[in-house]
Amino acid sequence: MVRRFGKVTVLRGVDFALRAGEVHALAGANGSGKSTLVRILSGALRPTEGTVLVAGTPVRLRSPHDGLHLGIATVPQELPLVPSLGVAENLFLGALPRRRGVVAWRELRRRAVGALRSVDPEGRLAPDRPVAELDLADRQLVAIARALLQGARVLLFDEPTSALPGHAAERLLELIRLLRSEGRAIALVSQRLDDITAVADRVSVLRDGCMVAELPGDQARAATLAELMVGHPVHAHHNPVRTRGAGELLSVEDLDPAGRGIPISFGVRPGELLGLAGLPGSGIDELLASLAGRRKATAGRVRLAGQDLTGLGVVRRARLGVAYVSGDRRREGIVPNATVAENLTLALTSRASLRPLRRAPLVERVAGVLRDLDVKPNDPTALAGTLSGGNQQKLVVGRWLLAGARLWLLADPTRGVDVHARADIHRLLRHQVAEGGAAVMTSSELAELLEVCDRILVVHRGALVAEVDPSQTSEHDLLALVGGAEPARERSL
């Protein structure tokens, strides 16, 4: 199989086969060609050269509808469901049972219950429930049930667990095992190497558009796959540094943020921007929330400049200089109907109020923050909800500049902002850290962590498993580590 986009060749003579009753996993770093191959197999994309065969017969797939007609269905990352409709309506979309031109709702519900039984034997999914109320894991079950209803014998899973927490991912993998036992052919694309080693009968590895290896599932170790994906052993310190001493601004000792019984210990020095890298469900979100006081840890201690924060809530930690910045600015960042000035001063007052701005020094400080962050429009009286997403995120950061934060806890802080706003936020963070503060940051983009962090700790299944030096680490290496690859030992710590 060959696929070119203009002068760029994405797939270079790739062979890939699926067998009934088998899970064939596809591993590879970002840009290796995995998604392109899946799109060709589904009919969403045509190969430049090469042939797709179904049951030994060459076929020409012009669209996913052609693929579905031949029993091939994709479960993509972005699920093709209608949130405003119920589960049953989504299952039979375009083929609702009718009597005399009217939807037969009782018959629809009866059929839906039967269809859901194959993916939800516990009966948790109610046919009448709106899809908008379901979490991602349950939406995936609906999408799989619909594919089975449409006669799918070949299922292509494209990163199905990438956004799922651990328990939901395990449940989905168990369903994949069940589908395999029923004789279906399954392709599994995943960055989570643990998922691949848990269910795959065969594993193929793509690198730079070439198929570089095919391994039996029982020989596919995470470390082996990681090395094949990037072309060399993945290097990192085998254990995270457990720094201690008066030189730390933040000290975390045996913290158990998610109640998994796995203690986490690390320190952050003044002037340091520490990254936390991990897939969804790895525990990085719970860890950051525990540091901010937004989530109560079941064990361990947190200290800021020697002061114990462990029993303190969000407000008291904020007063001591702990800032929490979320990338979900709509739900956790700004107040859209309040002004720019009111949003900036929220951390200084118990409620949004312009009264503090009557003090001339604060007026000047607000103006200075707007200027330093290049907020547009540079108008303290403008409603925050009228600003662009990037400028809204600047307000969230600017709020803590005004409050004099010492420790910055940043949960994907530049998500959904443009390149210019991102650069402005990075610049301000680096400046704050250089002035004697410290920061701990997560990001949905590993490249961002490598770009701005001084040090990165890798979290996998709730445990700190490695520390990497961004200047010595590639994005592919970091991706392999967060996926579960064991780092090559360089030295003991």
Mean pLDDT estimate for the chain: 85
Looking at domain 3-230, its CATH class is alpha beta
Enumerate the β-bridge partners of residue 235: 488
Close Cβ partners of 270 (under 8 Å, ≥ 6 residues apart): 247, 249, 436, 437, 438
Q: How confident is the model at residue 241 (pLDDT cuts 50, 70, 90)?
A: very low
CA 21/CA 124 separation, integer angstroms:
27
- CATH superfamily of domain region 250-482: P-loop containing nucleotide triphosphate hydrolases (3.40.50.300)
For residue 272, give the 3-state DSSP assignment.
Answer: coil
Percent of the chain with pLDDT over 90: 42
* Span 209-218, average pLDDT: 94
pLDDT at 178 over 90: yes
Pairing of strands 250-255, 301-304: antiparallel
Percent of the chain with pLDDT over 70: 90
Pairing of strands 154-158, 72-75: parallel
* Span 378-401, average pLDDT: 84
Q: How confident is the model at residue 244 (pLDDT cuts 50, 70, 90)?
A: very low
pLDDT at 479 over 90: no
Same CATH fold, 250-482 and 3-230? yes
pLDDT of residue 491: 40
pLDDT of residue 492: 37
Q: Domain coordinates of the chain in residue numbers?
A: 3-230, 250-482
CA 60/CA 79 separation, integer angstroms:
25
Over residues 297-330, the pLDDT tens digits come to 889 999 999 999 998 998 899 889 999 988 776 6
CA 462/CA 137 separation, integer angstroms:
20
Q: How confident is the model at residue 118 (pLDDT cuts 50, 70, 90)?
A: confident
Instruction: Name which of 249, 204, 219 is nearest 17 in CA terms.
Output: 204
pLDDT of residue 353: 42
Higher local confidence (pLDDT), 3 or 124? 3
